[in-house]
Structure 1
Amino acid sequence: MKKEPTALSTASVPTISQLEKEYHQFIVAHDHPCIMAQSVFKMGAVELHSYNSFGTKKTARNLVADIQAYVDGYDWESNDFVTFLAVFPTAHFTSETAFEKQLWEQLQHIHESDTKAWDETVSNNPEDDTFSFSIAGKAFYIVGMHPNSSRIARQTPYVTLAFNLHWQFEKLRKMGSYDTVKQRIRERDKALQGSINPMLEDFGSSSEARQYSGRKTEKEWKCPFHHTS
Structure 2
Amino acid sequence: MFNWKHEAQDRLEALLFAHIDDRAFPCVGAKSAMARGTLDVLACSSIDSAWDDVRIHDALMRLAEDYRRDRAMYRSFAVVFEGPGDLSEPEFERALWQRVQSLSDKDVWRGQDYDARVSADPDNPHFSLSFGGEAFFIVGLHPRASRPARRFERPTLVFNLHDQFERLRAEGKYETMREKILVRDEALAGSRNPMLARHGAASEARQYSGRVVDERWACPFHYSGEAK
TM-score normalised by L of structure 2: 0.89
Partner of 1:57: 50
Segment of structure 1 superposing worse, 68-77 or 24-33: 68-77
**Secondary structure of 2:52's aligned partner:** helix
Q: Residues 173 and 79 (structure 1 numbering): CA distance in 2 closer, same or farther, change over 3 Å?
A: farther
User: Is the CA contact 1:53–1:88 (under 8 Å) kept in the aligned structure 2?
Assistant: yes
Counterpart selection for 1:104 from 97, 101, 111: 97
Which residue is equivalent to 1:71?
A: 64
Corresponding residue of 1:165? 161
Q: Count residues with an aligned counterpart.
A: 220
Q: Look up the equivalent residue of 2:89 and give its one-letter code.
A: E
Q: Is the 8 A contact 2:13 2:43 kept in 1?
A: no
Given that residues 124 and 131 in structure 1 are in contact (C-alpha distance below 8 angstroms), is that contact kept between their aligned partners in structure 2? yes
Q: How does 1:1-229 map to 2 (within 5 A)?
A: 15-74=8-67, 77-114=70-107, 115=110, 116-229=112-225
Q: Is the 8 A contact 1:28 1:42 kept in 2?
A: no
Q: CA deviation at 1:176?
A: 1.9
C-alpha displacement of 1:166:
0.3
Which 4+ residue blocks in structure 1 deviate beyond 4 angstroms?
Answer: 10-14, 75-79
Determine if contact 2:65/2:132 at 8 Å carries over to the other structure. Answer: no
* TM-score (normalised: structure 1): 0.89
Gaps of 5+ in 2: none
1:79 Cα offset (Å): 4.3
For residues 93 and 164 of structure 1, the distance between their equivalents in structure 2, rounded to whole angstroms, comes to: 25
Contact 1:13 1:89 survives alignment (8 Å): no
CA displacement at 1:36 relative to structure 2: 1.0
Separation (CA, whole Å) in 1 of partners of 2:186 and 2:34: 22
Give the superposition deviation at 1:22: 1.6
CA shift for structure 1 position 219? 2.0
Distance 2:32 2:116 in 1: 29
Q: Is 77-86 or 205-214 further displaced after alignment?
A: 77-86
Q: CA RMSD in A?
A: 2.0
| Unaligned ranges ≥5, structure 1 | 1-9
Quote the Cα distance in structure 2 between the aligned partners of 1:218 and 1:13.
41
- Post-superposition Cα deviations, 1:142-172, rounded to whole Å, max 9, x if no partner, equal 0111011011111122100000000110121
The 8 Å contact of residues 56 and 109 in structure 1, kept in 2 or not, is answered as no
